[in-house]
Each structure stands twice: as C-alpha cells, then as structure tokens.
Amino acid sequence: MRVSIASDHAGYDLRKIVATHLEELGYEVIEGGAESALTPYSYVEAGKKIAEDVLSGRADRGVAICGTGIGISVVVNKYKGIRCGLCTNEYMARMSRQHNDANIIAFGARVVGQAVALAMVDAFFTEPFAGERHAVRVNDIKTLEEENFK
Ligand code: RB5
C-alpha cells in the first residue's frame, strides 16, 4: 500500500516518526510538506498534497498532521472523494475505517503523543471497512458530494 503523509511545521517531528514507522512496516511512503519544524509551512499546502496524491492514485491512503489536526483535516475534506477522520485515539482511528471508510487520517502533533499516534496509524491501516449499513451511509455522503461540489 502507498501512503501519502504530509504536515506543516507543527507536525514535522511527529510526521518523521510516523513515516519511519510505516516504512518499517513495509508501506511505500510518499512524504511531503514542511522540511523542518522551524520554518513555517502552511497546513493548506500540506493537505493539498495528500488529497491530490490520494485522488490521483499516487497513494492509496493518507496521513495528515498539523498542530491540532483541525486545519489540515478541513483542507483535505474540501476534496470530492476524500473522507478524512480527525482522530485523537485508537478507537476513533479504527472506527474511521470500519464505519466511514476513511481514506485519510488526521491528527494533531500538539494533541497526541507518539505512542497514541502510532497506535492510531496501526489501526487505520489494518481495520477493514464494515460495509453493509455503513456502505449505505458512505454512499449517501457521495450523493451529497455530487450535490455540493462543482
Ligand atoms: C500552526 O501554528 C497551527 O495553526 C497549525 O498547525 C494547525 O494547528 C491548524 O489547524
């Protein structure tokens, strides 16, 4: 599986840890965003990179990190076809896959620690979509996208 991961400066240090973890697990990682924790970098640009990687097929899924996770999750959810869950714990990460068929996970480097972040990505990349009644709701989201996106 190919994973696009990007962050702003606030998410830089945690992004490096998560990217290394995913590579060690055998995922193909495409990294983007800030080049250091010290130079300001917009979470909007980082989010655009992830959403475009996923929608183009360059990546199968994405990991989005900023200070709170809020800004970057808002950005990626502006794209038709993106379902990003902003998560603060492993249960939310698991449910974002099982119930929402999320294709991007977002979290905040100033909100969660390293252990929680790694537990969340492990859940996000292993939990299957449950389908059935949840597929009906995800299809309803796609219908909303058709109505509301140009
Ligand atoms: C950067 O200071 C901060 O605003 C950003 O990382 C994020 O938390 C925005 O939602």
- Ligand 1 neighbours, Cβ below 6 Å, are 8, 10, 43, 66-68, 70-71
pLDDT band at 57 (very low <50, low <70, confident <90, very high): very high
Write down the catalytic residue from 9, 87, 99, 134: 99
Residue 1: partners with Cβ closer than 8 Å, 6 or more residues away: 27, 28, 60, 61, 125
Q: What is the pLDDT of residues 64-87, one digit of tens each?
A: 999 999 999 999 999 999 999 999
pLDDT tens-place string over residues 82-110: 999 999 999 999 999 999 999 999 999 99
User: How far is residue 70 from each of residues 26, 88, 124, measured CA to CA in Å?
Assistant: 28, 11, 18
Number of domain units in the chain: 1
| Predicted local distance difference test score (pLDDT) of residue 150 | 79
| Domain of residue 37, residue span | 2-148
What CATH number did the domain enclosing 64 receive?
A: 3.40.1400.10
Q: What is the pLDDT of residues 31-50, one digit of tens each?
A: 999 999 999 999 999 999 99
